[in-house]
Amino acid sequence: MRQSELFTKTKREAPKDEEAINARLLIKAGFIDKTMAGVYTFLPLGWRVFKKIENIIREEMEALGGQEILMPSLHPKTNWEQTGRWEAYDSLFKFTSFYSKIDYVLGPTHEEIVSPLLAKFVFSYKDLPKYVFQIQNKFRDEKRAKSGLLRGREFFMKDLYSFHRDENDLDKYYEKVGKSYEKIFKSVGLGKLTYLTFASGGTFSKYSHEFQTLTPAGEDIIYICDKCKIAINKEIIEEQNNCPQCGNKNLREEKAIEVGNIFKLKTKYSAPFNFKYKNEKGELNDVIMGCYGIGLNRLMGTVVEIYHDEKGIVWPEAVAPFKVHLLSVKCQVSGVRKFADKVYNSLQKNGVEVLYDDREDASAGEKFSDADLIGIPYRAVISEKTGNKLEIKKRSEKKVNLTGVKEFIKYIRTTNKLRYYE
């Protein structure tokens, strides 16, 4: 992509009333735009990052046997009355349509849709287990939207739902999803900072589990057991003041962001819809359910909270909007411009995702500043000084070196295969 054609621009100043680092940097660099409190537009750069994250998650969900679907955002009131959550869910967006005066819900989660949906297809033990997921926008009437992408009123969530014959089968799948989640957080660069965290289990199970990423920007307090590398959410610390795995009482308090959760629903949302299956003996049994969520906006915001410096964002390679930021410095000099165009074309031909700063009216300093702010992993500069080579600098490092074009392309293609890293 040519930066001269990008409709967004970086801002010289971060918005005055934003304090959250993720909001300041993402808005300043032109990744997102705030429509209103807690509601954002993803701009071209931001949407590329979003899709990177989305694809990492999708791949893992498919590896778990998940079948991707897309459920509606607009829900009928009746489904929510059936589970009691029309009244009980306190951040539900409810409204009455203007013409027909019918009550609707904007979906904050989809148990009320997915359970009756599967009930239309699943009748026998032979139909179980089944796993379905979607990546879709959710609506929650948060009392207080805040901290940029970390707590919004409309946001994207990956929600996976599993349907089982019995609790034993649910337990096994639940473990598997936990392992997948670890891979996902590792892939996006949050592996070392993300802890499996014991949290309240609600009515039906002792615990649920959250994935909490350590950062001062977090709004949750968790207690870490350094022996087991797991944590306990403050919400259950009263009843559980030692590590549930090893009994360790020496726990470390930290602030963290909940980037995902897994939950055993059991029959909570199958029973209200009379969602049952017949076993081998022809007896009717309740379908056993699990649900598993990851907030994508929040995950993207968390990555920025962790990967930035005083100059801007430092994207981990797996989620960066582009791999290479090609800058032509003094591109009015025809040799520089010509060579930069040529390099741009050959990077593209070789499948390297590249943002090409070909702007003629931007000074060298402006281009360097923008490159630091936007945070693409590799900066490749072409100027009068660089001859027929590229000056390569990693965003995360200080050192620069001159490299031949072919050599650089070859190198960058090997990094495309990188998947899990810290």
Q: Which residues bind RNA (CB under 7 A)?
A: 9-13, 15-20, 28, 34, 36-38, 90-91, 111, 142-147, 200, 202-203, 208, 219-220, 261, 263, 265, 268, 291, 293, 311, 329-330, 332, 360-366, 368-373, 381, 383-386, 391, 393, 400
- Residue whose token pair is 């010509």: 338
Beta carbon of residue 4, minimum distance to RNA (angstroms, whole number): 11
Q: In terms of CB distance, is 230 or 318 closer to RNA?
A: 230
Q: Among residues 247 and 387, whose Cβ is nearest to RNA?
A: 387
Residue 306 CB coordination number (10 Å)? 20
User: Is the CB of 107 or the CB of 293 nearer to RNA?
Assistant: 293
The minimum distance between CB 415 and RNA, in angstroms, equals 21
Q: Between 60 and 220, name the residue whose CB sits nearer to RNA.
A: 220
Residue number with CB closer to RNA (6 or 55): 6
Pair of tokens at residue 169: 């089968």
Report the nearest approach of RNA to the CB of residue 361 (Å).
7
Give the residue with the Cβ less far from RNA, 318 or 376: 376
Q: How far is the CB of 87 from RNA (least distance, A)?
A: 14
CB of 244: closest distance to RNA in angstroms? 17
Closer Cβ to RNA, 220 or 305, answer by number: 220
Q: Name the minimum Å distance from CB 373 to RNA.
A: 5
**Closest approach of RNA to the CB of residue 247, in Å:** 25
Residue closer to RNA by CB (options 318, 343) is 343
* Nearer Cβ to RNA (203/414): 203
Integer CA distances (angstroms), 181 to 56, 69, 216, 247, in order? 11, 20, 22, 25
Minimum gap (Å) between residue 1 Cβ and RNA:
17
In the complex, minimum distance from the CB of residue 89 to RNA, in angstroms, rounded to a whole number: 9
